Amino acid sequence: MMLVTQKRRKVVVVGGGITGLTAAFYMQKQARTKELPVDIVLVESSLRLGGKIQTLRKDGFIIERGPESFFDRESHVQALAKELSIEHEMITGDSGPTYVAVGSKLYPIPSSLMSGATPHISSFITSGLFSLSGKIRAAGDFILPRSARVDDQPLGEFFRRRFGAEVVENLVEPLLAGTFAGDIEQLSMRSIFPQLYELEQKYRSLLFGMKKSGTNFLSYNQITKDKGIFQTFENGLETLIEKLEESLLPGTVMKGAKVEQIDHGKDGAVQVVLNNFSHITADAIIIATPFNVAQKMFSKHQLLTELNTMKAATIATVTMAFKKEQLGDLDALSFFVSRNSDFSITSCTWINRKWPNTTPEGYVLLRSYIGRVGDETIVALSDSEIEKTVLQDLKNTIGLDGEPVTTVVSRWKNAMPQYTVGHEAKIARVKEELYQHFPTVKLAGSSFEGISIPECVEQGCKVANEVLSDIFKQEQ
C-alpha cells in the first residue's frame, strides 16, 4: 500500500495581541498532538507582543497600562492558563462599595443593583442616587410589556424604556460609558448585552429575569461577600502574554514587520506582503488586528470598505500612587462619573483594595480613566496637564491631599472599538465578502466579536480550530 505524504502547510497570523497569540498557540498545540504538517508564522508590527496588555512593574507597584483584569464568565482564560501551567497564578479581586459621581457628590450604588441573586429592595428605596419619581418610574419595569423590537437597538433606548431616564442618566450611562468609553445612544444591545434582551423576552420584567437567572450587568464588583468577579495574574496580566510567547516554537514570531497588503498567490495560496517588500506565501491567514488596520490590507481589492464606518474611542489610563495618610476614610472600591458632573475622568478604581498584591504597604494606588466618545481631546494634552486635571478631579471627589508619589499616564489612540447598532450584521456581511474573495482568510479580535480578554481568547481558539479544519479537510 502506497502512503500519501501530506503537503506541508503554512498559516500566517497577523497581529500579536491576545487574540493572535492565542490562535498561534492553539494551532501549534494541535499540530503537535495530531502530527499535522503545518508551520505557524505570527507577524507583529511593533517590537513587543500583547497589544494593549502591558504591565509595568515599578518600585514595588504592579501597574497595568491597559486592561487591569477580566471577567472570565465561561473560563476561556482559565483553560488557556491551565494549558500554559499558570492557572495557579490566577487571583480574584476583592470587592467593595461602588459609587457614582452626580454633580459634585458621590452616591453609593444600591446593593440591590449590585447582586442579581439576592436583591434588597430597601437599599434602592433609600438611595439618594434617584428621586422619588425616578424610583417609581424604575419600578415600572415590573409591569411594562416586553420589547416589540426584534432588530438591534441602542442600549440607551432599551434601558430607558425599562427603567426611565433618571436611572439611565445617573446609573446605567456612567457604568457603561466608564466600561466601553462609548455613547449608549449608539452602542448595540445585540452585540453587547444580548443576554439581557433575552431575559426581558423570557420574563418580561428585566429585574425579575436578572434575579431568577443570577445575571446582572451591574455586578462589576461583588459576586460574594468578600470576593469580586474579576481576575488577573499575581504578577500582572502580561504574565499571560509572556507565557504565550515562551510557548511558541522558535522562529514563529516576526516582530517589527508590518503587513502592507494581502493578495492572491498561485494555486489558491495567499500572499502576505510586508513593508520591507518581502512576502510570505500561506495556505491560510488569520487577521487579528484592529478593524482600521485590517481594512488597509485589502485596499487594492476594495474589500472590507464597510469597516470604514466603524469608530473607536481614544482613552488614557492614569495611575497614581499616594501615601495612605493623603486620603480620607471613604470606604470605596471604585466610582463612575455621570455626564451630569463637571469632571474629566470617567471612572476611578482603588487598585490597592481590589488587588492588594499590586501595592506596597502604606500606599494607595488609584487608577483613573479619561476619554470617551465625544470627549477625547483631553487625551491629547501633555502628561503633566493630564496629571493636573485628574488630580484636581480626585481632590474634588474623594478629598485627596497633596501630590502623588508616582504617576503613570498611558494613552490608547482608537483603542476601544465601538459596537454601534447593527454591528453584528455588519461584521457578518464583512466576513461573507471576505470569504467570497479570500476564502482562507479569517478575521478575529476585539474589533469583531467581543472586546474583553476572555472573548478575544475564545475567538483565537475558535479561529485556530476553523483554519486547521479547513486546510486539512481534504487529507482527513
Whole-number CA gyration radius for the chain: 24
Q: What is the pLDDT averaged over residues 5-23?
A: 95
- Residue 207 is predicted with a pLDDT of 86
**What is the per-residue pLDDT across 146-195, written as a single tens digit (0 to 9) for each?**
988 889 999 999 999 999 999 999 999 999 988 899 999 999 999 999 99
Q: Is the pLDDT of residue 4 over 80?
A: no
Q: 198-212 as b/e, with b when 16 or more CB fall inside 10 Å?
A: ebbeebbbbbbbbbe
**What is the per-residue pLDDT across 245-254, written as a single tens digit (0 to 9) for each?**
999 999 999 9
On the 0-12 / 13-18 / 19+ scale of CB atoms within 10 A, 382 is: exposed
Q: Is the pLDDT of residue 115 over 80?
A: no
- 476: its cell numbers: 482527513
- 18: its cell numbers: 491576545
Residue 376: strand pairing partners:
none
- Round to whole Å and give the CA distance between 421 and 186: 6
Q: Is the pLDDT of residue 315 over 50?
A: yes
Distances (CA, A) of 458 to 94, 209, 398: 25, 27, 38
C-alpha neighbours within 13 Å on the C-beta side of residue 176: 25
How many separate helices (H) and strands (E) can be counted in the chain?
Answer: 16, 19
Residue 323: strand pairing partners:
363
- 344: its cell numbers: 474629566
Q: What is the pLDDT averaged over residues 197-204?
A: 92
Q: What is the mean pLDDT of the chain?
A: 92
C-alpha neighbours within 13 Å on the C-beta side of residue 132: 0
SS3 50: coil
Percent of the chain with pLDDT over 90: 82
Sorting pLDDT into bands at 50, 70 and 90, what band is 460?
Answer: very high
C-alpha neighbours within 13 Å on the C-beta side of residue 298: 24
Residue 58: strand pairing partners:
61
Given phi > 0 = left and psi -120 to 50 = alpha, else beta, which region is 43?
beta
311 contacts: CB under 8 Å, gap ≥ 6: 373, 417, 418, 420
SS3 279: strand
Cell 488597509 sits on residue: 296
- Round to whole Å and give the CA distance between 263 and 244: 29
Q: Is the pLDDT of residue 46 over 80?
A: yes
Sign of CA dihedral 245, 69, 379, 423: positive
Sorting pLDDT into bands at 50, 70 and 90, what band is 72?
Answer: confident
Sorting pLDDT into bands at 50, 70 and 90, what band is 243?
Answer: very high
Residue 364: strand pairing partners:
322
What DSSP element (H or E) covers 261?
Answer: strand 259-264
* Complete domains list, the chain, with CATH: 9-47+238-310+420-472 (3.50.50.60), 69-96+228-235+312-417 (3.90.660.20), 110-217 (1.10.3110.10)
CA nearest 417: which of 244, 251, 182, 210? 182
- 374: its cell numbers: 465625544
- Residue 360 is predicted with a pLDDT of 98
Residue type, 228: G
DSSP character for 116? S
CA nearest 115: which of 25, 227, 246, 216? 216
Q: How does DSSP assign 285-307, residue by residue? A: EEE-S-HHHHHHTTGGGT-SGGG
**What is the per-residue pLDDT across 400-433, written as a single tens digit (0 to 9) for each?**
999 999 999 999 999 999 999 999 999 999 999 9
Sign of CA dihedral 378, 380, 381, 383: positive
Residue type, 108: P
Cα 374 versus chain centre, distance? 20
- 155: its cell numbers: 442600549
- Residue 6 is predicted with a pLDDT of 76
Sign of CA dihedral 262, 263, 265, 268: positive
Residue 408 main-chain phi, psi, to 5 deg? -125, 115
- Round to whole Å and give the CA distance between 125 and 433: 52
Distances (CA, A) of 421 to 181, 335, 414: 15, 27, 19
Helices 18-33 and 76-83, interaxial angle, to 10°?
A: 50
Q: What is the pLDDT averaged over residues 79-93?
A: 97
Rounded to the nearest 5 degrees, what angle is found at the Cα of 475, between the Cα atoms of 474 and 476? 95
